[in-house]
Chain A
Amino acid sequence: MSNGKQLGKLFGAQLKMMFREKQVWFWNLFFPIILMVIFMVIFGGGGGSDFKAKIAVVKPSATEASDMLEGYLRQVPVLEWKSEQPITAEEADEWVKDKDVDAVIVLPGENETTLGIIVNKENERSATTQAIAGILDKFVQQTNYQVAGVTPTFSVETTAVSSGSEDLSYVDFLLTGMIALAVAQGGLFGMVDMVEMRRKGLLKRLRLTPVKMGLFGVGGMMVRFILGIVQIVILSLIGVFGFGAKLHLDFPTLIVGFLVGALAFNALGYLFSSFSKSIEAYMGMANIASFLMMFLSGIFFPTSGFPEWLVPVSQVLPLTYFVNGIRDGMVYGSGIASADFWAGIGILGAWGIVAFALGVLIYRKTKIEVR
């Protein structure tokens, strides 16, 4: 039978095997989806809704100043009022403890000039508390200027920018991170079949036939590419339609990044399989690698917040370059022409080549033990 026909058969058989294995479905699709949804709901603001803080106001006495401050506060758009009427100090304590409100603002009483914020101890350092404090601070400052009758000369306006598109949001960042992670894990964990095939004597059995093992590998890789494409499509659909992610696709960049990355991570999986005597050993190794990279490669959070000593570690990990490549191709909408992109692809490719070469060497050296 010709090579092409043989490859077709091998590809078909491996495709069937992959889609019949429930584990594949769980780990390569269900698990990344769950992980992405959780992260997006917690950190992504759940569908791009704006920041809102629920508050109430305590007004010890109705003075001119407190009336005026209350009036201004009601105009701050991000504050949501739990109660239209001012509440008592006791009620305020109760509401904060029960987390009915994010904060209670205590307006100044007679002959007082300070505004108070009551927050739950648990939330003392939360982003919401910080934001409310920030808003109040600015608000008090503005009021002071007005009372003093001066106009501020300088003001700060923050605009978030990223390379390429103006509207890169955390959701886009997370979506592309999850896609890279899912494809990488597909490779890292996917070679568990090899361990199982070796343990059961199937690799040995194949060597008794004239089949070309290279074709078997190519067929398997084609199947993994298909799985990767399915992952990208499904995660993107959920990200875009469920969480409002905005993609700027650049197909040449995406295709190059995806192919090189998928090959590199499958090569790593192949290397792990070469020295794993059992499925447990293999899974342990793949898990360690995947966890380390998940947090050190900027999947969920940008690496810029890392302590300085950690940066070099992040800079050698292949997932760092893979996720950058995927982001270049999916949200930055650029890359194929940039030197940075190709440097990253080069490092990724180097990881793949070294891992594959080592794997081949170890497979040749170790005698296959069949149980």
Chain B
Amino acid sequence: MAILEVKGLRKAFGSVQAVEEISFSVENGEVFTIIGPNGAGKTTTLEMIEGMQAPDRGTISISGMTWDKDADRIKTIIGVQPQSSALFDLLTVEENLDLFGSFYPHSKQSSEVLEMINLTDHRRKNVKSLSGGQRQRLAIGLAMISDPQIIFLDEPTTGLDPQARRNIWDIVLKLKELGKTTILTTHYMEEAEKLSDRVCIVDQGRVVTLDSPANLIDSLTKEREVRLYFQDGESAAAETEQVAKGDSTVVRTELDGSSLKLWSVRPEETLYGVFGFTKEKGYRVEQVSIREMSLEDVFIAFTGKEWRD
């Protein structure tokens, strides 16, 4: 059952059309990631869902409830970590959690949350003296203090070092284990690919595509790029290219000195044939690689790579 349903959202700020038309629905327990270039309308969309902005048009239903009727009840089942980590700097980690916990009719023990965000050792520290990663973990902790069903994480890893980013991934995966629904935005494709059940690419205020990371990558193209580097020089590469061209699995080839690129729909079959030939001829192949397609290719394919600013 869909825990969040968004239909035909539209929002303008003055003459700027921030969100054109956005619709999607999120299933219970999913990690749902919204990605898109800067200014695509991600944050505006999130803020409308979180009840911070009223949409000009469209409907939002959270667990069957709407903002105009059930604002107070919705607030108790969602937890939000906004982009700016808004914390009480003069309070300690634990005091922040206790204070936010007191806002809700039911809240988790702060010790339990501290454990999950791995700040137990720092619980008596003033927020002022925390590192960027620790602050961000606390901001996520505050979003979890009410034990909400849906958690919104708006760019939780932006500006963090690789270790700190991985710590946050662990938290997201733990939330998933607990059966929580997570709505995530990010600029890191690797992160979206690793964490999400489904990815929604947004550009210029519209949903461009929406599917699981694997399906998105598959849908991008059937061909994979295979690269071979020959130790015996250009002639060996050129001869091999002629052979590969006769293979039905190869769609296209490209020769650049001693390096040969093949685009194949079945790379393992193509390579079998190619290696049969090189073995027969005694050509030595120094490097072989099959380029993996990633979500980043999907993203660029859908949103283009021209300069935007």
Main secondary structure of the interface of B (DSSP, over half): loop
Q: Does A99 contact B (CB under 8 A)?
A: no
Q: Does A292 contact B (CB under 8 A)?
A: no
Contact among B72, B82, B90, B95 with A205 in the assembled complex (CB-CB below 8 Å) = B82
- Most chain-A CB neighbours within 10 Å: which of B104, B126, B146? B104
Q: Does B102 contact A (CB under 8 A)?
A: yes
Complex interface bits, A196-210 against B, C-beta within 8 A gives 1, otherwise 0: 000011101111111
- Most chain-B CB neighbours within 10 Å: which of A21, A207, A210? A210
Q: Does B98 contact A (CB under 8 A)?
A: yes
Q: How far is the CB of B89 from chain A (nearest CB, A)?
A: 8
Report B-chain residues with C-beta under 8 Å of the C-beta of A208.
50-52, 75, 78, 80, 82
Q: Does A16 contact B (CB under 8 A)?
A: yes
Complexed CA–CA distance, A42 and B87 (Å): 46
Is there an interface contact between B91 and A16, defined as CB atoms closer than 8 Å? yes
Q: Does B105 contact A (CB under 8 A)?
A: yes
Complex interface bits, B63-77 against A, C-beta within 8 A gives 1, otherwise 0: 000000000100110
Is there an interface contact between A210 and B76, defined as CB atoms closer than 8 Å? yes
Complex interface bits, B129-156 against A, C-beta within 8 A gives 1, otherwise 0: 0000000000000100010000000000
Q: Does A10 contact B (CB under 8 A)?
A: yes
Known A-B contacts A201-B86, A202-B87, A209-B75; A9 and B99 likewise in contact (beta carbons under 8 Å): yes
Contact among A1, A200, A206, A370 with B105 in the assembled complex (CB-CB below 8 Å) = A1
Known A-B contacts A205-B82, A210-B76; A13 and B88 likewise in contact (beta carbons under 8 Å): yes
Is there an interface contact between B86 and A205, defined as CB atoms closer than 8 Å? yes
Report A-chain residues with C-beta under 8 Å of the C-beta of B188.
none
Q: Does A143 contact B (CB under 8 A)?
A: no
Closest to B104 in A: A210
Q: Which of A1-29 contact B (CB under 8 A)?
A: 1, 5-6, 9-10, 13, 16-17, 20-21
Main secondary structure of the interface of A (DSSP, over half): helix
Q: How far is the CB of A154 from chain B (nearest CB, A)?
A: 68
Q: Does A211 contact B (CB under 8 A)?
A: yes
Q: Does B24 contact A (CB under 8 A)?
A: no
Known A-B contacts A6-B102, A13-B95; A204 and B52 likewise in contact (beta carbons under 8 Å): yes
Complexed CA–CA distance, A120 and B133 (Å): 69
Q: Does B287 contact A (CB under 8 A)?
A: no
Is there an interface contact between B82 and A21, defined as CB atoms closer than 8 Å? no
Chain B residues in contact with chain A, CB under 8 A?
Answer: 50-52, 72, 75-76, 78, 80, 82-84, 86-88, 90-91, 95, 98-100, 102-105, 126, 142, 146
Given A202-B88, A210-B105, 13 new contacts (CB under 8 A): A6-B103, A9-B102, A13-B91, A13-B99, A16-B90, A201-B83, A202-B87, A204-B52, A205-B86, A205-B142, A208-B82, A209-B104, A370-B84
Chain A residues in contact with chain B, CB under 8 A?
Answer: 1, 5-6, 9-10, 13, 16-17, 20-21, 200-202, 204-211, 370-371
